[in-house]
Amino acid sequence: MKYELLIFDWDGTLMDSAGHIVASLQGAARDMDLPVPPPEKARYVIGLGLGQALEYLFPMLPESDHPRLADCYRNHYLGQDHTIPLFEGADSMLRGLHARGHVLAVATGKSRRGLDQAMQHTALEPIFTATRTADQTFSKPHPAMIEEIIAEVGGRPETTLMIGDTSHDLQMAVNAGVAGLGVSYGAHTVDLLQGCNPLAIVDTMAALENWLDENG
């Protein structure tokens, strides 16, 4: 196979959670009487670590208030995360790739707690060899997540593919010196994804599975 190690983003790539993240960010802003970010601006920060996202959305907020704002966001999001589905076809695609012999990993802007809960709800944890979250290492687009995963599984950059729905994912791939594949059904627009020169951009989960079958 061309790409032995497949690293997936989670939110907006495997899980249909972008709308929930936007609503939770907006709800947290209302809780603290802050300007509510418009959907397009809230969608832009999906994939970043929570601290980095809040700094971008609320630059006027003193740093001392960031923990309270983060707690407001978590209260909104984690209270409903067990109801958020995977994209249709994601489960069978992942299990098929695993059965075919690919090493699967996750690099996400979620917290460790958030990813662990999502893994528990979806029962996918056994098929992933390695995972990295934004509170474990540097946030995207820093290359650390990818570099640490490659080192952990004994992989090679030239046989690694990063798959994500945001420019943060694809820029992280560029920074780590690995190939990137974009999906346009998540948080970022095709124009933003194209700016990172991915191998391709696919617009459905079925198209993603087909691309990996033919090129992975």
Token digits of residue 145: 């997540």
Q: Which of 192, 209, 214 is nearest to 8 (CA)?
A: 209
Catalytic residue among 9, 16, 81, 169: 9
Element at 67 (helix H, strand E):
helix 66-78
Asked whether the CA dihedral 13, 81, 95, 146 is positive or negative, the reply is positive
Q: Which of 49, 9, 15, 209 is nearest to 120 (CA)?
A: 15
Write phi, then psi, for 135 (nearest 5 degrees): -95, 5
Is 91 labeled as catalytic in the residue annotation?
no
118: left (phi over 0), alpha (psi -120 to 50) or beta: alpha
Is 16 labeled as catalytic in the residue annotation?
no
CB within 8 Å of 126: residues ≥ 6 apart: none
Element at 176 (helix H, strand E):
helix 167-176
CB within 8 Å of 44: residues ≥ 6 apart: 56, 187, 188
Instruction: Supply the residues annotated as catalytic.
Output: 9, 11
